[in-house]
Amino acid sequence: MLGTTTIDIAALNNPDLSNIAALYLIDVGLTEMPCLSNLASLKWLCLKDNKISHVNLQSYFDAETGNGTMPKLKYLDLSRNPVSKIDARIKEVFTSKPLIILSEEVMVDLSLPLSDVKHELKEAGIELVELDEKKENGSDVSN
């Protein structure tokens, strides 16, 4: 077993890797979700067995263009992570409406209305959180 693992996110974002369809970063000690902005063909992202507690999607969304990264993502596996918070912009960022796998028992379908997504997350003990700037602008993501 490796004592320390270093993941070079810049190397993963290399344009030569833009056609990768699946990426598995299992048990590598991640504490946050890496922004993989150049992996436009990614359909499956497996981040299980890490230390991700807050899924912050700030670097996944381009506010100027309104585009999220990874437009083809179908599955995001966050199982066996201590996730307690997920960025409320998740449906804006992942427009392909992927299935979020939080555990073997809990899967959240982002094609559902936001109110249902919020309910499913709450049932799993996960809070859907807004950025402070959204609150200041009066935006409300709850339905």
Q: Which domain holds residue 78?
A: 12-131
Contact 62, 86 (CB under 8 A): no
For residue 129, give the DSSP letter: E
For the cut 70, the answer to whether the pLDDT of residue 1 exceeds it is no
Whether this model's pTM surpasses 0.85: no
CATH of the domain at 19: 3.80.10.10
CA atoms 28, 74, 54, 82: torsion sign: negative
Does residue 6 lie in a domain region?
A: no
Does residue 126 lie in a domain region?
A: yes
- How much of the chain exceeds pLDDT 70, in percent? 81
Q: What residues contact 82, with CB distance under 8 A and at least 6 apart?
A: 51, 52, 53
Does residue 142 lie in a domain region?
A: no
List pLDDT tens digits, range 93-139: 888 899 999 988 889 999 999 999 999 999 999 999 986 644 444 44
Count up the domains in the chain and report the number: 1
Does residue 31 lie in a domain region?
A: yes
Does residue 2 lie in a domain region?
A: no
Does residue 141 lie in a domain region?
A: no
